[in-house]
């Protein structure tokens, strides 16, 4: 299929940063949303919609470059939410020119600017942090104090001879605010891997109809969420494949209205889904 979905067949979502469970979905309707005149950027408007159920909870919200902007950080702060995001193109009112001109030579180097409210209290922070490349962030919470370093293992050829490559550990100093952002994003990435690499229904059910594809994707999201909730609640040693097989059988022969049942293996009792 073409990579670009048809209108209203692209899905945006909000997910829990600890469990990876998808909490809310939104079908994209760019033309309709662009006509809304609420003073917000499109990314800020969508972010507000996705997380408004958790307003006034003081939770962290981490967003990619579609959502991240000064406008989003301000709007979510007014809703009682903390926000951290990576800024790329939505740079209005963001000090991109200054941050991009700062000399940073080593991985882990960072530099930031803090905005003060009318009472002189810090309410927003823009900063750049260097890993493989410069990454620009906007945040209305946390700080640039040293956090847990980012550690990668790499194979390196240490000389020009035919010796075997050696494994080296690369440690990158990381601010606390980046720890929060990347730890949260890692949970979402795991959800995507469960859906795309483990379950793979979207690959196995081939279609050229975008409505069918969107429906299949939402179904797979529900299946993966069911696995994550079940695993988190029971701490089971059961594998994903075993859970998916059991779920498929129960969906075919649904016993929801028949009271408690015993799974076909006879080894585990469970309430119906």
Report the pLDDT averaged over residues 140-149.
Answer: 95
Q: Which residues contact 63 (CB under 8 A, 6 or more apart)?
A: 43, 47, 72, 83, 84, 85, 86
Asked if the model's pLDDT at residue 138 lies above 80, the reply is yes
Q: How many domains, the chain?
A: 1
- What's residue 197's pLDDT? 87
Identify the pLDDT of residue 273: 35
Give pTM, 2 decimals.
0.82
Q: Output the pLDDT for position 156.
A: 74
* % of the chain beyond a pLDDT of 90: 57
**What is the spatial distance between Cα 158 and Cα 139, in angstroms, rounded to a whole number?**
40
Q: What is the mean pLDDT of residues 236-252?
A: 90
In a domain, 272, yes or no: no
Residue 66's φ and ψ, nearest 5 degrees, are: -65, -40
Reported as a pLDDT band with limits 50, 70 and 90, residue 155 is confident
Q: Would you say residue 245 lies in a domain?
A: no
Contact 187, 18 (CB under 8 A): yes
pLDDT of residue 154: 78
Using alpha carbons, select from 198, 211, 225, 181 the residue that is nearest to residue 83: 181
- For residue 267, pLDDT beyond 50: no
Question: Does residue 240 fall inside a structural domain?
Answer: no
* DSSP track, the chain: --SSPPTT--EEEEE-TTT--EEEEEE--HHHHHT--SS--HHHHHHHHHHGGGTTS--EEEE-TTT-SHHHHHHHHHTT-EEEEEESS--TTS-HHHHHHS---STT-EEEEEEE-TTS-EEEEEEEEESSSEEEEEESS---SB-PPEEEEEEE--SSSSPPPEEEEEEE--BHHHHHHHHHHHHHHHHHHIIIIII-HHHHS--S-HHHHHHHHHHHHHHHHHHHHHHHHH-----HHHHHHHHHHHHHT--GGG--EE-TTSS-EE---
Residue 161 pLDDT > 80: no
Q: List, for residues 103-136, the tens digit of each pLDDT value.
A: 999 999 999 999 999 999 999 999 999 998 999 9
pLDDT of res. 10: 77
Buried b (16+ CB within 10 A) or exposed e, 204-240: eeeeeebeebbebbeebbebbbebbebeeeeeeeeee
From CA 13, how far away is CA 46, in angstroms rounded? 9
Instruction: Answer whether residue 244 is part of any domain.
Output: no
Which residues lie across from 11 on neighbouring strands?
A: 27
Per-residue tokens: 92: 């209005």
Give the pLDDT mean for 90-102.
Answer: 96
Average pLDDT over residues 195-207: 85
Residue 272 pLDDT greater than 50, yes or no: no
Give the mean model confidence (pLDDT) for residues 234-243. Answer: 91
Structural domain including 84 reads 11-235
The mean pLDDT value of the chain amounts to 86
Radius of gyration of the chain (CA): 23
Taking every pair of C-alpha atoms in the chain, what is the biggest distance, in angstroms? 70
Which pLDDT band, with edges at 50, 70 and 90, does 266 fall under? very low
Please indicate, yes or no, if residue 107 is contained in any of the structural domains.
yes
pLDDT at 7 over 80: no
CB 214 within 8 A of CB 9: yes
Please check whether residue 191 lies inside any domain of the structure. yes
Query: Tell me: the pLDDT tens digits for 8-52?
Result: 667 889 999 999 999 999 887 766 665 666 788 889 999 999 999
202 has a pLDDT exceeding 90:
no
Q: Is the pLDDT of residue 268 over 60?
A: no
Tens digits of residue pLDDT in 208-231: 888 888 888 889 999 999 999 999
């Amino acid at each position: 299929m073409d990579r670009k979905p048809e209108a209203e067949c692209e899905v945006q979502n909000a997910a829990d940063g600890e469990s990876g469970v998808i909490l809310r979905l939104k079908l994209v309707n760019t033309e309709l949303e662009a006509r809304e005149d609420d003073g917000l950027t499109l990314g800020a408007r969508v972010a507000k919609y996705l997380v408004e159920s958790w307003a006034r909870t003081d939770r962290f919200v981490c967003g990619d470059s579609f959502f991240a902007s000064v406008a989003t950080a301000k709007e979510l702060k007014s809703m009682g939410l903390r926000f951290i995001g990576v800024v790329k193109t939505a740079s209005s009112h963001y000090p991109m020119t200054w941050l991009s001109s700062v000399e940073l030579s080593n991985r882990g180097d960072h530099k930031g600017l803090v905005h003060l409210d009318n009472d002189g209290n810090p309410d927003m922070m823009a900063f750049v942090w260097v890993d493989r490349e410069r990454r620009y962030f906007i945040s209305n919470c946390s700080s640039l104090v040293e956090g847990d370093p980012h550690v990668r293992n790499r194979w390196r050829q240490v000389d020009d001879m035919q010796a075997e490559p050696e494994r080296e550990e690369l440690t990158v100093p990381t601010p606390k605010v980046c720890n929060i952002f990347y730890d949260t994003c890692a949970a979402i990435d795991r959800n995507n891997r469960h859906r795309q690499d483990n379950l793979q229904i979207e690959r196995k059910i081939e279609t050229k109809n975008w409505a069918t594809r969107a429906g299949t994707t939402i179904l797979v999201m529900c299946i993966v969420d069911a696995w994550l909730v079940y695993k988190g609640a029971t701490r089971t040693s059961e594998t994903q494949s075993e859970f998916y097989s059991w779920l498929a059988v129960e969906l075919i022969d649904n016993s929801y209205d028949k009271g408690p049942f015993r799974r076909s293996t006879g080894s585990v009792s469970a309430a119906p889904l």
